[in-house]
Structures are given as structure tokens and as C-alpha cells.
Amino acid sequence: MDRVLIESLGVEAIIGVYDWERHIRQRLVIDLEMATDIRDAAANDDLDKALNYAAISEHIIDFADSHAFGLVETFAERLSDSLRQDFGITGLSLTVRKPGAVTDAESVGVRIERGNFV
């Protein structure tokens, strides 16, 4: 299966389990791989037949801006549901990193695979 990629997309979100984290926005970094067959889009040179990475990036930015969660796990799961529903994505791998969370780590986070991600 082919992939459409979004790498190192920076977003701002209310995210964290502690009280002080509910009053600030923190940076999350998103990596997304979407399973798809690109041949129809390529054969017709037609964006309407492709997973539009620009539109999907905007969706992720808007999602982060308009939701507040405790766990990065919840952010990842809900974002995955939203992407699959709104863009008809059949399978994906989604990584959510929280770079500022652990002082001595470059970043921490989660990676999930949902749907038919082969």
C-alpha cells in the first residue's frame, strides 16, 4: 500500500494531566502516515482523487486548537477518529510527540496504528 505523509507538523493545544497544564497551550509535534492507493490520483493528475495533505494538515491544526485533553493518548485516539471519519482514511499511523514534557528527553509521546495499515 502507498502512503501520504505529514511529518513534524507543529500544533498548539491544551494538553496535560496536571492543573497548571489546563491553563496554557503546549506544543505537540505530529507525524501522520496514511495508507492509500495513489495510482488513480497520479494517473489523472487530480487532487480530488488524492488525500490532500494540505487540507489534512489544516484539520489537525484546527483540531488541536479546539480541543483540550489530559493524555496524549486521548488526543491521538480522538484525532485518529476524526481524520478517518472526515477524510475517509482507511488506515493510518499517527505519532503525537510532546517535546517539552520531560526535561532530559528530546520528546515523549505515543504512536498508534488504526484501520487497515499495511
Ligand X SMILES: Nc1nc2c(c(=O)[nH]1)N=C([C@H](O)[C@@H](O)CO)CN2
Binding site for ligand X (CB under 6 A): 16-18, 21, 71-73, 98, 101
Q: How far is the CB of 58 from ligand X (least distance, A)?
A: 24
Task: Please state the closest distance from residue 92 (CB atom) to ligand X, in A.
Answer: 20
Q: How far apart are CA 30 and CA 58, in angstroms?
A: 12
Cα–Cα distances (Å) from 107 to 37, 62, 72, in that order, read 32, 22, 12
> Which entry of 13, 75, 98, 109 is annotated as an active-site residue?
98
The question of whether 98 is a catalytic residue gets the answer yes
Which stretch of DSSP H or E encloses residue 12?
strand 2-15
Which of 20, 118 has the CB closer to ligand X? 20
What are the residue numbers of the active site?
98
